[in-house]
Amino acid sequence: QVQLVESGGGVVQPGRSLRLSCAASGFTFSLYAMHWVRQAPGKGLEWLAVISYDGSNKYYADSVKGRFTISRDNSKNTLYLQMNSLRPEDTAEYYCARDALLYHSSGHCDFWGQGTPVTVSS
Amino acid sequence: DIQMTQSPSSLSASVGDTVTITCRASQSISNYLNWYQQRPGKAPMLLISAASNLQSGVPSRFSGSGSGTDFTLTISSLQPEDFATYYCQQSYSSPPYTFGQGTKLEIK
């Protein structure tokens, strides 16, 4: 069965960096685009970034562009989110999610991880 | 960027009721509209893609319709497990793939 397990969350001071990981199993990871989505406490979902199946294309929300970098290692079946220059407003639960279509990024996500919390506070 | 607006923000209903949630896009998105359900403390779950395509395993009491800028999610014969928050998301053209602000469905 498809499994996505995020890790790497925690408490970090403003201005510092953090790298999230998402370990995938139960499907051929290298054939799917992957997304990161976050949810601030008590708030709605915010789409952050997508990476193509082969890592050649990446897109970001304006709120994180230039600070966050999405990447993947298909040999390790792992998705990453490098988060730099963190701000208090980046405090949220961070989810990785699989795009619903093979190869092509459809934009909708059919499997989600359980999330990893990130708190940015001094 | 395309903005998505859901209404209402919250809704109270009883088991067995039929409810409708609306989602409006700031520009035409054809049928590139998806609906998710999120129960408290859980990850979102995809219910409907392409405005009306019910995902495998999702009960048939869920249905979606619309195209262009106006879309609806209808849940008929509400069950206890349906009380959750619902989000629409547009996936038209290039990213960002924006979500609506959510609609919280509560038990009356």
Q: Tell me whether residues B98 and A62 touch, CB distance under 8 A.
A: no
CA distance readout (Å), B89 to A97, B2, B36, B57? 14, 10, 8, 20
Residue A103 has pLDDT above 90, yes or no: no
Distance from CA of A39 to the nearest CA of B (A): 10
How far, in Å, CA of A24 to CA of B102, rounded? 28
Instruction: Please name the residue of chain B whose CA is at the shortest distance from the CA of residue A52.
Output: B95
Tell me, what's the pLDDT at A58?
Answer: 97
Q: Tell me whether residues B96 and A59 touch, CB distance under 8 A.
A: yes
pLDDT digits (tens, 9 = 90+) for A18-48: 999 999 999 999 999 999 999 999 999 999 9
pLDDT digits (tens, 9 = 90+) for B49-102: 999 999 999 999 999 999 999 999 999 999 999 999 999 999 998 899 999 999
β-partners of residue A38 are A46, A94
State whether residue B95 sits within 8 Å of chain A by CB: yes
Which of A8, A15, A9, A7 has its CA nearest to residue A122? Answer: A15
